[in-house]
A and B are shown apart, each in its own frame.
Chain A
Amino acid sequence: MDFAEAGRRGKDVRSDCWVRIEPKAGGVRLTLNSKVEAMFGKAIRKLIREELAFFDVKDARVTVEDSGALPFVMMARIEAAVKRLNPKEKREYLPELLDSAKQPTSRDRFRRSRLYLPGNEPKFMLNAGIHKPDAVILDLEDSVAPAVKDEALIMVRNALRQIDFMGVERMVRINQLPRGLDELDPLVAANAHMILIPKCEDPEMVRDVDARIGKAIGVRRNASGAMRPLLMPIIESCLGVFNALEIARASKNVAALTIGLEDYTADLGTQRTLEAKESFWARSRVVNAARAAGVQPIDTVFSDINDMDGLRQSVLEAKGMGYEGKGCIHPRQIETIHQAFAPADAEIERAKKIVLAYRNAEARGLGVVALGAKMIDPPVVKRALRTVDLAIRTGQLAPDWDAGAGEGAK
């Protein structure tokens, strides 16, 4: 190739940059046009030269048009251009993995809201954490055009390493297999908390992803202590719906199961409607499969950002069916989702009673939990514990709500 380009430029581009590398004898000749030249000109030139030296680019004309890219963004764009120029280049120019990126996740955390962020758009990622979704999804699949998949992977890798998402769970949606398999190594090394497997219709797909992650962990474990990401298969086809239970059970690392209705309704040969009657059976089957396998059932994305009432209704319906989470594409949807998933007062009151009865039974070494004359089964206890946790998180219940009640139990 005569030259390679990566990144984005133009009047409306912000927090990003565009890079062009053209091999030419006579050393590296750098042309930089940056809107932050006065404040960061020297730092940017240093970064570019160091990275080019790392990749052994010694003779080239290099042009960078910078619209205020943060260093990790610029690093990603340069690396993408270098790799387009030389597809054999496999080395990675890695920014530091922040301490905040090393926090582990857990199977049981709340996943009420997950905010989709296009993987090739750094400006939306920078402040995503402040909106406090339960999770962000750095997306490599449908929101990334085929021509820039390579750039997006490097960008997502760098974002995972360098952005403080403020305690929000860090998910990545990889591309459909087999491409998605080749994306896993850098994501695992960057401590992605959860991998979403799109168009999952066969348990074998889950096992393939799991095996590849296992290999990556094996290689990395000693070096960086990378943690093993959890899995969330996305059911998006009729076959997937039929195989939902096997998919959910395919690996012990599957922690949640979700459904994608855009592709599912297309596969079904119909249109997606607001009432969603056409997908009722599929959503029922997926929620049942998830519960049967002991993983979280998570509902599809609500994509009309102007219809807050529709979103609220949709979440209430999902909650009524047994789902615990909803996808969203704009920060302003998050609070509505959390409100709709918040337990009702009566729900909390009942859960408090059950939790106290459960503790009381435990304290007395009783095998059976009873509330009045009524026996409470273990799944009901588990659900009540979850409701109390959620109520504390939403601020509906004080963390020390049981401070006085504990005395009575003694």
Chain B
Amino acid sequence: MRLVRNALDRLVPSEVNGKPQVPFQGVSQHHPKGRKAAPRIPSCIDYPEDGDKLVPDLKSALRKAGIRSGMTISTHHHFRDGDLLAPQLFDACAELGLKDLVWFPSAAFPCHKPLIAHLESGVIHHIEGSLNGPLGDYCTDGRMRGLGLLRSHGGRWQAIQDGEVHIDVAVIAAPAADMFGNANGVLGPSACGSLNFALADSMYAEKVIVATDNLMPFPCVPWQIQGNNVDVVVELDRIGDPAKIVSGTTQITKSPDRLYVAELVAKFIRDSGIMRDGFSFQAGAGGTSLAFAVYLREMMKQANVKARFIRAGSNKYLVEMLEQGLTDFILDGQTFDLDGVRSMRDNPRHIATSPFTSYNFSGKGNFASQVDVAVLGATEVDTSFNANVVTHSDGRLLHGIGGWQNCLYGRCVVLALPAFRDRIPVIVDRVTTVCGPGELIDVVITERGICINPLRQDLLDAVKGKGLPVKPIEQLKAEVDRLCGKPEKARLGDKPVAAVKWVDGTVIDTIWQVLRR
């Protein structure tokens, strides 16, 4: 494998798992060309006229879908850490004697730890998707055959649509489905919200299996997944635990320091003039980027200001804003708690969006660039405002990218962070992994001050004299270094273990093997 330098001066592989790659060219420099990919033309005469596509179990479903060794299988993260499908699925694959499968999840979580056994035994060859927890360690220790490939939610749609990834079999966990394959995530005992992370898979995969724990008579409406794209339906005892959707990153923080940051973010949005009638904002996962909305809500009430829409991971607090008339719409990629699920089901102004509508680079525009302000987290930021969201400062994979890269196209991008975690500085000279180029990151807000990207003179001017603690990022870094000391470089080997894609399909950085001491 050859390594080349990309536009951010990072060494990246020129091919990944046998497929040639384009190194990152710079923001808005790369234009994917050609035609969209498509699955083979199916014919209705090959499917039962009565619409009944039910098979008795997962193994039968996989056989019916024509599964073979070496194929690419996808699943989705609507249940986040409560997913019960992927482990069952690969157990079934193992029983069928399959080998060298590629798992293409929309995100992986600690609940997927059992899949390590299937990686070890050769059932799974490698994973293309976010890697964290035990799977992240497995990858960064250099134990996975093949390279991991990390993509944003928008990047995943782009890769499927543009033909970079051909899904042989998509398996969609559905809280409600009929025998024809119409499915949604808002009904039933496992209701989790929207199924739109699986939408591209249902359209572009060669074969589509819907697995449900809640089979209902035709028609299952709303059909977030259309049965006309579905080959097989299978009923399972359990597909997921919606109570575990609420993971650590989706709860409001209790830490006084983080709440202080959240309040500072809200003040910045107010005092910079972004908060005005008809504005829009995006709230992300991660305690602080959720909590700022609680402060902003009070400021909006005081100023009698209403938002046109909120782009979200929805939660109780945003749902309250919708119900109190503080926003006209929630455009929701993913529900983060059960209040969000209820609202999406019952409130016509709570709209399920997909990575296509929100994020896709290879599309005729998207929603992300229309958002006035996006508040996101990160693990590290450097003094050029480049940011890392996937690795820990020691080089280990920690988080998926989610919609983070896509949201960087918002009109104002704010990263809300602690300046240091325990002894680990968050403001650094050079981020361990670049996930987002600094030119797209406008503001970094920490408990020790607000740093505005010098490229955004307009924002610097807007908050001048407003009493906000604005300081140069170099000054903040010096302050943190004095407290924490200067960290050693992570001990990384020269073997790539995964690559990080930019939203346009180019490779923005490489994850290297972490050497044990």
List A residues at the B interface (Cβ < 8 Å): 14-15, 35-43, 67-71, 126-127, 130-131, 164, 330-332, 395
The answer to whether B448 has its CB under 8 Å from any CB of chain A is: yes
B517 touches A130 (CB 8 A): no
Which of B182-190, B451-459, B486-494 forms contacts with chain A? B486-494
Q: Per-position contact with A for B144-174: 1 when CB-CB < 8 Å, else 0?
A: 0000000000000000000000000000000
Q: Which of B472-498 contact A (CB under 8 A)?
A: 479, 483-485, 487-488, 490-491
Q: Per-position contact with A for B402-437: 1 when CB-CB < 8 Å, else 0?
A: 000000000000000000011110000000000000
Chain B residues within 8 Å of A164, by CB = 479
B422 touches A38 (CB 8 A): no
B422 touches A14 (CB 8 A): yes
The answer to whether B256 has its CB under 8 Å from any CB of chain A is: yes
A331 touches B256 (CB 8 A): yes
Chain B residues within 8 Å of A40, by CB = 423, 484-485, 487-488
B422 touches A332 (CB 8 A): no
Chain A residues within 8 Å of B448, by CB = 127, 130
Q: Which one, A37, A68, A127, contacts B422 given CB within 8 A?
A: A68
Chain B contact patch, size range:
20 to 34
Contact A130 B447, CB 8 Å, known A39-B424, A68-B424, A330-B256: yes
Chain A residues within 8 Å of B422, by CB = 14-15, 35-36, 67-68
Chain B residues within 8 Å of A35, by CB = 422
The answer to whether B223 has its CB under 8 Å from any CB of chain A is: no
- A15–B420 alpha-carbon span in the complex (Å): 11
The answer to whether B295 has its CB under 8 Å from any CB of chain A is: no
Contact A70 B256, CB 8 Å, known A36-B424, A37-B517: no
A38 touches B490 (CB 8 A): yes
Chain A residues within 8 Å of B485, by CB = 40, 43, 71
Kindly provide the distance from the CB of B211 to the nearest chain A CB, expressed in whole angstroms: 36
A70 touches B488 (CB 8 A): no
Name the 10 nearest CB pairs between A and B, nearest first. A68-B422, A38-B394, A39-B487, A331-B256, A68-B423, A127-B257, A36-B423, A130-B447, A15-B422, A39-B488
Identify the closest chain B residue to A37 (Cβ): B517
- A37–B490 alpha-carbon span in the complex (Å): 10
Kindly provide the distance from the CB of B115 to the nearest chain A CB, expressed in whole angstroms: 26
Chain B residues within 8 Å of A126, by CB = 483
B517 touches A332 (CB 8 A): no
The answer to whether B260 has its CB under 8 Å from any CB of chain A is: yes
- A330–B254 alpha-carbon span in the complex (Å): 12
Which of A40, A126, A130 counts the most chain B CB atoms within 10 A? Answer: A130
Q: Which one, B256, B260, B393, B483, contacts A39 given CB within 8 A?
A: B393
The answer to whether B23 has its CB under 8 Å from any CB of chain A is: no
- A35–B487 alpha-carbon span in the complex (Å): 13
Chain B residues within 8 Å of A38, by CB = 393-395, 488, 490-491, 517
A70 touches B490 (CB 8 A): no
- A131–B488 alpha-carbon span in the complex (Å): 31
The answer to whether B259 has its CB under 8 Å from any CB of chain A is: yes
Kindly provide the distance from the CB of A336 to the nearest chain B CB, expressed in whole angstroms: 13
Chain A residues within 8 Å of B467, by CB = 395
- A40–B421 alpha-carbon span in the complex (Å): 13
Q: Per-position contact with A for B233-273: 1 when CB-CB < 8 Å, else 0?
A: 00000000000000000000000110110000000000000
- A41–B490 alpha-carbon span in the complex (Å): 11
- A67–B424 alpha-carbon span in the complex (Å): 11
Kindly provide the distance from the CB of A330 to the nearest chain B CB, expressed in whole angstroms: 7
Chain A residues within 8 Å of B488, by CB = 38-43
Chain B residues within 8 Å of A130, by CB = 257, 260, 447-448
Q: Which of B31-52 contact A (CB under 8 A)?
A: none
A41 touches B517 (CB 8 A): yes
Kindly provide the distance from the CB of B469 to the nearest chain A CB, expressed in whole angstroms: 9
- A71–B486 alpha-carbon span in the complex (Å): 11
Identify the closest chain A residue to B264 (Cβ): A130
